[in-house]
Each structure stands twice: as C-alpha cells, then as structure tokens.
C-alpha cells in the first residue's frame, strides 16, 4: 500500500485528504495517509475527521512515504525543508502546493536533485470541483507524474503546464480566480438588491447563473465569445448590459487584475527565500 505524507494539515491539505477518502471508499486499497502538523488541536481534529495518522515531527512522518506533499505557507517552506531535508530519500516524490515556491528553490534547500511536482490547486477543491495546474521538474519520471495527477484529481480537474514560469499565470487565472467570481456574484447580487430583489433571491439568481453558465460552456464545443454573442440579440437586454461593460473597459480591467496577480506571484517567489 502506498503512503502519502502531508506536511501541514491546514485547509488545502484537508480538502485533498477529504477528496482522496471520498474517491476511494475505505477498505478498497487506498493509500495510507499521514499528516505532520505542529498544533496538537489541529492533529486531534484531523484524526477525528479522517482515518489518518498524525505526527508532530515531520521527520518521523515522512519515513517510508512514497509521496511528500508540502502544504504549508510559502514562507514556512525553508523551515520545513530544513527539518525534513536530511531524511528525504531518493525515490520519494515531493509535491509542493506552496504558491510561488519554485522547484529550484526546493532543490537548493535540499542541496540535491529531487523529483518535484509543483501544484496550484484552487479553493473549489474543498467541494471536489477544483482545478489544479501541475508542473513536473525534469527529475520526475512518468510514474511520479501519474502519482501527482492521481492525487490532485481527487479534488477536481488537473492540467499539466510545461513551463514552470507559467505557474504564476496559473495562479493568477485559477488560483486567484475564485475571488474574481465571488466579486462578480457580489456585484450582481448588490445590483439585484438595488433593483428590488431580496438578498437571498438575488444571491441565488447570481450564483446559479455562474454555475449554469460554466456547465453550459464546458458542454459546448463553441468558444465562450461565441456563446456570449449567441445570447446577445441586437437591441435586447443583454446588449444593453454588455454595452455598459464594454464602455467601462471591463475586459481591460480584468486583464490588469490577472496581470497584477501574476506579477505579485513572481515577486513573492523572488522574496520567498
Ligand atoms: N487555500 C487555497 O485556496 C490555496 C490554493 C492554492 C495553493 N494554496 C497553497 O497551499 C498552502 C497551504 O495553504 P492553506 O490554505 O492550506 O494554509 P493553512 O490552512 O494555513 O495550512 C498550513 C498548515 O501548516 C501548518 N504548519 C506550519 N508550520 C508547519 C511545520 N513546520 N510543519 C508542519 N506543518 C506546519 C500550519 O499550522 P499552524 O496553523 O499552527 O501554523 C497549518 O495548519 C499554501 O502554500 C498556499 O499557498 C492554497
């Protein structure tokens, strides 16, 4: 039986662990899962939620694990690698979900070449509807890539990125993306309320519109730009709304927002260590 060891048992680790247990019912050969987490209360909570083994000490936790998932904040990564680095064995795959931390940074901290997969999941992973961008460094074998894909697929879709420097763009589009969608829903809800709807009704209308439009776009071969054209009859209500969005330069504003997120990601990866 394979063994996955999470270093850090916070929100994202819990989402992935939950997804892994949901996908493979208990007793049908799932991986054993360990979690290294410094806080006793957090360890107790994890053990109450999942059949995992928890450890206060990362070095002990990674012993014999096939895969080590670094699920701590980026600024904690150097400290973690210092703690566990000497115990990492050749053949153990490292998956890092720390935003902005490069494979090179991890290898430098470990003072050797190591198979590292960088993963950028997003918040909908909590409901198994995430999307994760994955990058494998050149030391990864096919079986390492398959393993990373299998693990992250437990919380949604995965997509391979072939150049590591594009991971900041992934962070800016899908990692940060849920905030853009919440922003849109918030604005649609508030506008609905201003137009006389109750908050509950306006929220439901806005949320289901986002979910349904996403599902429709996924099921259609047509590009989203074409779908938008299709619902915009000349002189109609949608055309009136889109004219306002275009007039305010909303597409350019969104472009700038995504670029700002990408640049901030780059900045953080430079200052992480
Ligand atoms: N949440 C997201 O939507 C999202 C999306 C994409 C990527 N990420 C990335 O995922 C990583 C984790 O994010 P998160 O939201 O899960 O953060 P989080 O909830 O703060 O989880 C991090 C956990 O690691 C623990 N920890 C701290 N130092 C440790 C150590 N030396 N050894 C073991 N565990 C340690 C923390 O414990 P304490 O609380 O006691 O410090 C905390 O429980 C981050 O790097 C983030 O960039 C998150």
**Residue of minimum CA distance from atom 19 in ligand 1:** 10
Cα(5) to centroid(ligand 1), Å: 14
**CA–CA gap between residue 36 and residue 55 (Å, rounded):** 5
Of the candidates 148, 169, 190, which is a domain's last residue?
A: 169
**Is residue 245 a part of any domain in this protein?**
yes
Residues 125-139, mean pLDDT to the nearest whole number: 97
Cα(9) to centroid(ligand 1), Å: 7
**Is residue 273 a part of any domain in this protein?**
no
Instruction: Check pocket membership of 177 for ligand 1, CB cut-off 6 A.
Output: no
Cα(6) to centroid(ligand 1), Å: 10
Whether residue 153 sits in one domain with residue 249? no
Instruction: Of 26-40, 140-154, 249-263, give the lowest mean pLDDT range.
Output: 26-40
- Tell me how many domains the chain contains: 2
**Is residue 111 a part of any domain in this protein?**
yes
Whether residue 162 sits in one domain with residue 78? yes
- Residue 42, domain extent: 3-169
Cα(90) to centroid(ligand 1), Å: 25
Whether residue 106 sits in one domain with residue 196? no
Whether residue 111 sits in one domain with residue 10? yes
Asked if 92 and 116 touch (Cβ cutoff 8 Å), the reply is no
- DSSP for 20-38? HHHHS-TTSSPPEEEEE-S
Cα(233) to centroid(ligand 1), Å: 47
Query: Model confidence at 29, in pLDDT bands (50, 70, 90)?
Result: low
Question: Which numbered atom of ligand 1 lies nearest the CA of 39?
Answer: 40
Whether residue 39 sits in one domain with residue 91? yes
**Residue of minimum CA distance from atom 46 in ligand 1:** 98
Whether residue 217 sits in one domain with residue 133? no
Instruction: Check pocket membership of 202 for ligand 1, CB cut-off 6 A.
Output: no
Longest C-alpha distance within the chain, in Å?
68
Instruction: Check pocket membership of 120 for ligand 1, CB cut-off 6 A.
Output: yes
Cα(37) to centroid(ligand 1), Å: 10
Whether residue 154 sits in one domain with residue 42? yes
Mean pLDDT score of the chain, rounded to an integer? 94
- DSSP for 209-238? HHHHHHHHHHH-SS-HHHHHHHT--TTSHH
Whether residue 130 sits in one domain with residue 201? no
Instruction: Check pocket membership of 58 for ligand 1, CB cut-off 6 A.
Output: yes
Q: What percent of the chain has pLDDT over 70?
A: 96
**Residue of minimum CA distance from atom 9 in ligand 1:** 98
Of the candidates 139, 169, 199, which is a domain's last residue?
A: 169
Whether residue 232 sits in one domain with residue 165? no
Name the residue of 71, 117, 125 whose CB sits within 8 Å of the most ligand 1 atoms, as the mutation to test its pocket. Answer: 71
pLDDT tens, residue by residue, 206-265: 999 999 999 999 999 999 999 999 999 999 999 999 999 999 999 999 999 999 999 998
CATH number, domain containing residue 141? 3.40.50.720
CATH number, domain containing residue 197? 1.10.3730.10
Whether residue 24 sits in one domain with residue 144? yes
**Is residue 34 a part of any domain in this protein?**
yes
Whether residue 209 sits in one domain with residue 78? no
Q: What percent of the chain has pLDDT over 90?
A: 88
Cα(125) to centroid(ligand 1), Å: 15
Strands (E), 125-257: 130-136, 156-160
Residues 70-95, mean pLDDT to the nearest whole number: 93
pLDDT value of residue 28? 45
Asked if 192 and 167 touch (Cβ cutoff 8 Å), the reply is no
**Is residue 187 a part of any domain in this protein?**
yes
Whether residue 153 sits in one domain with residue 18? yes
């Amino acid at each position: 039986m394979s063994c996955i060891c999470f270093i850090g048992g916070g929100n994202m680790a819990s989402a992935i662990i939950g997804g892994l247990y949901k996908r493979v019912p208990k007793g049908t050969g799932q991986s054993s899962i360990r979690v290294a987490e410094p806080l006793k209360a957090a360890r107790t909570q994890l053990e109450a939620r999942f059949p995992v083994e928890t450890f206060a000490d990362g070095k002990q936790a990674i012993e014999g694990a096939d895969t080590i998932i670094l699920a701590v904040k980026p600024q904690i990564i150097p400290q973690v690698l210092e703690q566990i680095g000497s115990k990492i064995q050749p053949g153990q795959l490292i998956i890092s979900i720390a935003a902005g931390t490069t494979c090179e940074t991890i290898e430098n901290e470990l003072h050797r070449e190591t198979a590292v997969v960088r993963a950028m999941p997003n918040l909908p992973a909590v409901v198994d509807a995430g999307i994760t961008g994955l990058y494998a460094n050149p030391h990864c074998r096919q079986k390492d890539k398959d393993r990373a894909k299998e693990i992250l697929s437990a919380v949604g879709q995965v997509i391979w990125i072939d150049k590591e420097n594009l991971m900041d763009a992934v962070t800016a589009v899908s990692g940060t993306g849920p905030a853009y969608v919440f922003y849109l829903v918030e604005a649609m809800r508030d506008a609905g309320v201003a137009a006389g709807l109750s908050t509950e009704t306006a929220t439901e209308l806005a949320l289901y519109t986002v979910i349904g439009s996403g599902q429709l776009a996924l099921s259609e071969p047509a590009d989203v730009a074409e779908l938008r054209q299709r619902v915009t009859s000349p002189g109609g209500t949608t055309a009136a709304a889109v004219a306002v969005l275009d007039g305010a330069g909303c597409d350019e504003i969104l472009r700038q927002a995504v670029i700002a997120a990408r640049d901030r990601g780059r900045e953080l990866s430079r200052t992480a260590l």
